[in-house]
Structure 1
Amino acid sequence: MGRPAPLIAVAATLLLSGCHHGDGERAQASAAALVAQVPLASAGFPPTAATAKTQLGKLKVEWGKNWETYKRENFGKYWSDETDAIGGRNGCDTRDDVLRRDLRELREGDRNPCVVLSGVLKDPYTGKELPYYYRRASQIQTDHVVALGAAWRGGAYAWTPQRRLEYANDLDVLLAVDKQTNYDKSSKTADKWKPPQKGYWCEYARRYTGIKAKYGLSVTPPEKQALQEMLGTCPA
């Protein structure tokens, strides 16, 4: 059974029907409450180190397939809210959901609680603190931890278009990160790229493995070895 119709659409109706200042304030509060109803992460995600190690041991190991047929458009519209993935159908585009989840010192829009006006990101990949301001040039981008191209080679080539759209917009798959580091990472797999901040290797491998397990994606032999090494940095 799908989620209800986009929640912000309901909120918009409330806003339009309010004729007085007090009505508008109540409608805005209702909009914020409606947006807040949709979780921005799955329960138990990312998995613990122990769970991730078990998951990694169960993943199919094979060399990537169909790499030459990958195109970004195979994963549908950028930042679509029209999915049943985590964060979907709350009326906010996916990128705004990621910012609302990952930034601190967050300031959201008064009329539209989806809009992030400002905040600060503690970049997980580098440890840098990066400011964010609405409609200004930013050093923050949204990264697919297991890149779309890597997902394609690991099995997404066989999915339905809707399944690929859900993957591309699943908040469990996404992180707000430093722009230049995201460029450096590109579509590299775990054996070709690791976060510069070694203290993040454990969580990165937990997230990466959790995504692979959630979507039934395969790993290559070098990719599995790299994930084992990073999971080995997790506290006992």
Structure 2
Amino acid sequence: MRRLLSLLLLSLTLLTCAPVAQAPQSVAPALPYERAAFGSGWTDPDGDCLDTRAELLAALSTVPVRLAPSGCSVRHGRWFAPYTGQVITEAGDLDIDHIVPLRYAWGHGAASWSAQKRARFARDPVNLLPVSASANRSKGARGPLDWLPPDPGFRCQYVLRFRRIAASYGLVHSAAEERELVALTGRLCGA
């Protein structure tokens, strides 16, 4: 029994100390994630009092939008929420989702980015999508290996767009994550 226990401890020690293939060092965040590292929220770069959220809602509405009395936020329009396949007419029922969540990006390389690159990523319209608030909250900071849109008809597009955004910003996945993403894409997109 004593010999078995010694062998078990030795095996555990060897497993714990064995070299493990890891993603490049830039993947491990040096600091704990903070949303503020990606900038101070929606901005109004063109100075027309419509911030990034309002501009995106106005651009993606299938009908002319109705603004709030201030003229600085969108109240009504008509949007297709692709995660759920719903048509939504009240802007307050929508969240703007980061397809590649900020926290996810942080853990896959954004921790080492400049503040400017993080702010650009957080406001990049390619990475933003109006979705139902419930779908956005259900997704949280998860990527496609842990969450897929409830509407099966949008899953292939979601995974392809997620991967394209991650690649364009140089986010790093472990070899195992990359294999799983490729396999998932194949299953969902028939490739």
TM-score normalised by L of structure 2: 0.75
Decide whether aligned partners of structure 1 residues 110 and 190 sit closer, same or farther in structure 2, where only a CA change above 3 A counts: closer
Corresponding residue to 1:103 among 51, 61, 67: 61
Decide whether aligned partners of structure 1 residues 181 and 225 sit closer, same or farther in structure 2, where only a CA change above 3 A counts: farther
SS state of the match for residue 217, structure 1? Answer: coil
Q: Which has the higher contact order (CA 8 A, sep 6+)?
A: 1
Larger radius of gyration: 2
Match of 2:80 in 1: 122
Query: What is the one-letter code of the residue matched to 1:74?
Result: A
Gap regions ≥5 residues in structure 2: 1-21
Match of 2:37 in 1: 74
Match of 1:141 in 2: 95
Q: Can you list the C-alpha shifts for 1:99-123, whole angstroms capped at 9, x where unaligned?
A: 1232222325599886434212211
Say whether the 8 Å CA contact 1:201–1:231 is kept in structure 2: no
How many residues align? The count is 166
Decide whether aligned partners of structure 1 residues 152 and 181 sit closer, same or farther in structure 2, where only a CA change above 3 A counts: same
Match of 1:62 in 2: 23
Alignment of 1:2-81 (within 5 A): 62=23, 64-66=27-29, 69-81=32-44
Give, in whole Å, the separation in 2 of the partners of 1:159 and 1:194.
27
Query: What is the one-letter code of the residue matched to 2:82?
Result: P
Gap regions ≥5 residues in structure 1: 1-60, 83-88
Moved over 6 A (4+): 110-114
Corresponding residue to 1:203 among 132, 143, 157: 157
RMSD across aligned positions (CA): 2.7
Query: What is the one-letter code of the residue matched to 1:213?
Result: A
